[in-house]
């Protein structure tokens, strides 16, 4: 089944939004989420899970999604919120903010994964939804591109960590830079605890 057909099969005249997050795994930076609403007739050829697309394709789809969406919202949860409530709850908070930030209120939210944020509309969780649903795939692209752009900004602020090369993920290079330069204000302290305990 094509991704847009999947949404059509669920929609049944309702306004649905697709929701996904980006940046749960990295050692640094905010976590991002996006929510997207399309109408019944919108088909975006070639759209897929953001992880399966090249950066160039994600950037191109980003503009197409924003142009064709009836409504979209990109939201975040901060490093401080990640630290206070853990990364899963912070990702749920970012999703909730993205849904609540839509200019059109959806009647059903399709959530990528197996856990839903607590919101005042019905939700349906879809494991690997970003490879099944056009609206979830679109949300995954908006969240991923927005977060990558944000990491490029952090790269300019803290060039010694080379954030644009690893987007904050725990690569060998990133750990080497943390050892060399210490922890920056944009690192997630909880994520680095085990690393420093091993030292």
Domain ranges of the chain: 3-198
pLDDT band at 48 (very low <50, low <70, confident <90, very high): confident
Helix ranges restricted to H, 79-133: 79-85, 87-100
Q: What is the pLDDT of residue 10?
A: 95
Q: What is the pLDDT of residue 155?
A: 98
| CATH no., domain 3-198 | 3.30.420.10
Question: pTM for the complete prediction?
Answer: 0.95
Position 1 pLDDT exceeds 90:
no
* pLDDT tops 80 at residue 197: no
How confident is the model at residue 50, as a pLDDT? 80
Average pLDDT over residues 186-199: 84
Q: What is the pLDDT of residues 99-121, one digit of tens each?
A: 999 999 999 999 999 999 999 99
Beta strands in 108-155 (DSSP E): 108-112, 123-126
Judged against a pLDDT cut of 80, whether residue 86 lies above it is answered with yes
Average pLDDT, the chain: 95
pLDDT at 146: 98
Q: Is 70 exceeded by the pLDDT of residue 143?
A: yes
For 80-107, b/e burial (b = at least 16 CB within 10 A) is ebbeeeebeebbbbbbbbbbeebeeebe
- pLDDT bin (cut points 50, 70, 90) of residue 199 is low
């Amino acid at each position: 089944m094509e991704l847009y057909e999947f949404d059509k099969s669920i929609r049944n005249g309702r306004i649905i939004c697709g929701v996904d997050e980006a940046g749960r795994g990295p050692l640094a930076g905010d976590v991002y989420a996006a929510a997207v609403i399309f109408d019944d007739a919108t088909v975006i050829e070639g759209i897929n899970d953001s992880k399966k697309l090249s950066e160039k394709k994600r950037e191109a789809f980003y503009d197409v999604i924003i142009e064709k969406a009836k409504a979209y919202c990109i939201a975040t949860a901060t490093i401080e919120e990640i630290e206070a409530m853990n990364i899963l709850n912070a990702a749920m908070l970012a999703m909730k903010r993205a849904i609540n930030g839509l200019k059109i209120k959806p009647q059903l939210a399709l959530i990528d994964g197996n856990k839903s944020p607590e919101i005042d509309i019905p939700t349906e969780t879809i494991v690997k939804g970003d490879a099944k649903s056009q609206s979830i795939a679109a949300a995954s692209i908006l969240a991923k591109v927005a977060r990558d752009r944000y990491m490029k900004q952090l790269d300019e602020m803290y060039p010694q960590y080379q954030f644009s090369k690893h987007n904050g993920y725990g690569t060998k290079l990133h750990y080497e830079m943390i050892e060399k330069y210490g922890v920056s204000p944009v690192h997630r302290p909880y994520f680095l605890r085990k690393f420093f305990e091993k030292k």
